[in-house]
Amino acid sequence: MAKGKQSSVNGRKNLTVRKEMMMKGGQECRSSSSCAACKSLKRRCSPNCIFAPYFRAHEARKFARVHKVFGASNVSKILAEVPEEHREDTVNSLAYEAEVRLRDPVYGCIGAIALLQAQMLQLQHDLAIVRARLARYNAATSRAVPVPLLPAAALPGFPISDAMRSQTLLQGHRSLCTQEYQQQNEKGDDFQ
């Protein structure tokens, strides 16, 4: 019985010491906490643990997904083969692939890639159609006879001043006279 009490007292001391070591300037101390991989695998996290820099203690779900799809042994082999400067990217890639594989067990990443490629082809097709319509519109408008624009004030429903009305009427009279003169010259009659 005395031995049981002593182990519980030592356990509390170790827990208190461990908590104090974990909080060092608001950050986790690496020596006292296990990484997510070692916690999941229920083993002691060594200082040279290959998983520790990439599966921190609070990233248990990330490791669980990677472990379920690839296995811890395979992940450790992959990380050992990859140069250290590329390991972070490798782990992120494995985590993404594992997440997608769990969502789509048959196709995994290939299914996501195929879906994105199909969307891209559809958008390129739609863009080609719009460009063709725009080209037809531009061609039609360039062949059309330009229509002289009247000032907005000369349109019905807009109040116009007397000066504007007389200017518009004068321009209209000049164009009518010019047209009559040209028609008379074409007929051969003298315009008087």
pLDDT, tens only, 43-63: 999 999 999 999 998 999 999
Domain containing residue 121 = 107-141
98-133 burial, b at 16+ Cβ within 10 Å, e below that, comes to: bbbbeeeeeebeeeeeeeeeeeeeeeeeeeeeeeee
- Residue 102 makes CB contacts below 8 A (sequence gap 6+) with 65, 68, 69
Are 84 and 26 in a shared domain?
A: yes
Poorest-pLDDT segment among 14-23, 26-35, 95-104: 14-23
Is 109 within 8 Å of 100 (Cβ atoms)? yes
In a domain, 119, yes or no: yes
Q: State which amino acid sits at residue 143.
A: R
pLDDT average, residue stretch 116-140: 94
Question: Domain boundary at 78, 103, 128, which?
Answer: 103
- Write down the pTM of the prediction: 0.48
- Residue 21 makes CB contacts below 8 A (sequence gap 6+) with 29, 31, 32
Are 115 and 97 in a shared domain?
A: no
Report how many domains make up the chain.
2
Are 37 and 74 in a shared domain?
A: yes
